[in-house]
Chain A
Amino acid sequence: MLARLSNYLYRHPTVLLLMLLGPPLLYMLGFYVAPLAVLLVNSFYRLDDFTGQVVREVSLQQYATLLQGANLDIFGRTALMAFVVTLACVVLAFPLAYYIARHAGPRTKAALYLSVLLPLWSSYLVKVYAWKLLLSQEGIVNWVFEKLGLQGVLTALLAVPGIGGPSLSISNIGIFIAFVYTWLPYMILPMQAALERVPNSLLEASGDLGARPAETFRTVTLPLIIPGVVAGSIFTFSLTLGDFVIPAILGNSSFYIGQAVLTFQGSSGNVPLAAAFTVVPIVIMILYLIGAKRVGAFDAL
């Protein structure tokens, strides 16, 4: 019976292909692509002002709402945060990635690799909670500043409008630190992988041809690791764009995209507006992904 099936499939490869590809493809189309389409369609509906019910008529009302000042602020704030978080991740990830890829011996390398994996796979909520502990008024960060006699610096920093707040654990600085921390491993790993793929012979050749180390780095290493950096930035950028947990726990009343979507959808039941809100990060990420594919970041994932 099995043998006959096997022979049949051998002679009819198309049937085999359909059997292999069918289930995953149908699953993704049914439970991912179709919902995305539903979401997109919803963003063109509107809410009846009196009944609060969704009216299924096509209009651009939600997109007009997106352009209101308060909403533009949310997009600007979130995109800016995603950008600076990504930048900070690149800066922090580089030395460790470089050391793991090019200086550590096999044993150290394995140990260091593991020490990136551990925080990566540790519970996301526990990590956010840890920063609530660390950054709170009575917590360790304040304690360190106090012991170093730098209390004034911290107070001055928290007084800056836009990034400050009553304490580090309720401020945009706190949100920034927590984002950088939670997504950092996503940057380190592809960066390290990219660095490891840079052939030593190229670096030697560059040196032999008279380039100084800094020059070699700028003209040989850097262009070769860009795909890895972009691959990492897909995660740091995308994850920041859609997150609502970190701003909810460490933030104040100024919303990020994720919180706005959750609120529209949850408490006010305004699915059309929530849908239109998510179209923005989708468009940003699709443009980002197309750019990333261009620089070859998909092979670096």
Chain B
Amino acid sequence: MSKSLPILRAAAGMTLAFLFLPLVIILLYAFNTEEAAFTFPPPGLTLQWFGVALQRQDFWNAFGLSLRVAAIATAAALVLGTLAAAAVYRFNFFGKETISFLLLLPIALPGIVSGIALRASLGLADIPFSFWTIVIGHATFCVVTVYNNVLARFRRLSRSQIEASMDLGANGIQTFRYIILPELATALLAGGMLAFALSFDEIIVTTFTAGQEQTLPIWMFSQLTRPRQRPVTNVVAFLVILLTALPILWAHRLTQKSNES
């Protein structure tokens, strides 16, 4: 095995480079002076486009909408995912195996399926597209991230603690509030962040449920297919990369810490 280690190292390094090259390019091109093309190396660097991008109202509207949608879809996923996880952990019931499958389905089946299915149903029920139709679609695939995280944490929870709490006279709700919930906190945080990120980034389902509303991914898509100001797209791409990288680094810290303790 030792003879093949350098080869493995090199191959792993190449995959790693492949993973990072596009992100680095995005960071570089945000400072590009060129307006109409993607010439490499960029002919010049400037900060000018950051100012322009930050003054584009359409960008801010899309950004705000995406934040609000993700916040509500995440809240819904936190509640529904935790309830489902608690039910699966606490009880044995007919069809228990199916619950995981059902919750996984929205991310296992292509997004276009959920999208067109919701679209057809909204049409059938004569429900107009709105902020809420976007949220409803997002929550369906966000639940599973919370469910998986919380269920995994439930399974690591020691029964003896719960029994001790009950023996000492706490009722079920008190036990949940003072024993179980604190244990679940980081799982809820991790699951919630994944849900938020999924929702914030989603475009396939959203295309079918958004009507005229523009979330940030839909805004970006329209910028890619019908570019108005390329440099603005570059800057927004840069900002979005930073925006996603920072919470991930932070969450990673957090899980590292909770694993060590």
Do B116 and A274 touch (CB < 8 A)? yes
- On chain B, which size bracket covers the interface? 35 or more
Choose among B4, B80, B116, B244 the residue that contacts A123 (Cβ–Cβ < 8 A).
Answer: B244
Do A39 and B37 touch (CB < 8 A)? no
Residue of B with least CB distance to A281: B110
Chain B interface SS verdict (over half): helix
Convert B10-42 into 0s and 1s, putting 1 for each residue whose CB lies closer than 8 angstroms to a CB of A: 011011101111110110010000000111110
Question: Given the complex of chains A and B, what is the CA–CA distance between A131 and B25 in angstroms?
Answer: 9
Q: Which residues of chain B come closer than 8 Å to A301, judged between CB atoms?
A: 104, 148
CB distance from A88 to the nearest CB of B (A): 11
CB distance from B218 to the nearest CB of A (A): 9
Q: Which residues of chain B come closer than 8 Å to A261, judged between CB atoms?
A: 112, 116
Do A242 and B204 touch (CB < 8 A)? yes
Choose among B108, B197, B256 the residue that contacts A289 (Cβ–Cβ < 8 A).
Answer: B108
Q: Is B61's beta carbon under 8 Å from chain A?
A: no
Stretch in contact with the other chain, from A57-65, A67-75, A89-97: A89-97
Q: Is A118's beta carbon under 8 Å from chain B?
A: yes
What 18 additional pairs, Cβ within 8 angstroms, besides A7-B171, A27-B143, A235-B107?
Answer: A2-B173, A17-B90, A21-B83, A23-B80, A25-B84, A32-B106, A39-B113, A110-B252, A115-B20, A124-B217, A125-B201, A125-B220, A129-B220, A133-B25, A245-B203, A265-B119, A278-B112, A285-B109
Which residues of B pack against A, CB within 8 Å?
1, 4-5, 8-9, 11-12, 14-16, 18-23, 25-26, 29, 37-41, 76, 79-81, 83-84, 86-87, 90-91, 93, 99-114, 116-121, 123-124, 136-137, 139-140, 143, 147-148, 171-174, 197, 201, 203-204, 207-208, 217, 220-221, 224-225, 233, 237, 240-241, 244-245, 248-249, 252, 256
Which residues of A pack against B, CB within 8 Å?
2-3, 5-7, 9-10, 13, 16-17, 19-21, 23-25, 27-28, 31-36, 38-39, 42, 92-93, 95-96, 98-100, 103, 110, 112, 114-119, 121-134, 136, 138-140, 142-143, 181, 184-185, 188, 213, 234-235, 238-239, 241-245, 248-249, 257-258, 261-262, 265, 271, 274-275, 278, 281-282, 285, 289, 298, 301
